Amino acid sequence: MYATHYGIRQRRASRAKQVIGLGRPKRLGLVLGAVAAAILGLAVVAHGGTTPTYTEVVVQPGDTLWSIATEHYPSDDVRARVDSIEEANGLQSPRIFVGQTLRLPA
């Protein structure tokens, strides 16, 4: 049984600590970690929000996205570059037209 004398109090963990198993220092660490992660995430978004640099190319007769990607990115994977050109220009298909200006990602 517990002693009930003056100055002696029963020590019991709060229900939250029993269920979760976290003390005040651990909770503080988790909160600070969450805040740091949020700040880091916002910094990455802000840094990635810069305008990418593009090279502009006017489509000539006989040009295809494949030939343009091969010419401008000789050491890269052509398929990936064709996809990036389509994405940069908002193209729904690889179909392009003579005189069309395309933006090529750097």
Alpha-carbon distance of 11 to 8, in angstroms, equals 9
The pLDDT of residue 63 is above 70: yes
Asked if residue 89 and residue 73 are part of one domain, the reply reads: yes
pLDDT tens-digit map of 4-61 = 566 666 666 555 555 555 567 777 888 888 888 888 877 777 776 556 688 999 999 9
Contacts with 65 (C-beta within 8 Å, 6 or more apart), sequence order: 82, 85, 86, 94, 96
Of 85 and 4, the structure prediction assigns the larger pLDDT to 85
Asked if residue 46 and residue 5 are part of one domain, the reply reads: yes
Provide the domain count of the chain: 2
Q: Can you give the residue range of the structural domain that contains 75? A: 54-105
Query: What confidence score (pLDDT) does residue 3 get?
Result: 56
Structure-block tokens of residue 54? 């593009």
Q: Which of 50, 69, 85 is the last residue of a domain?
A: 50
3-state class of 60 per DSSP? coil
Asked if residue 81 and residue 67 are part of one domain, the reply reads: yes
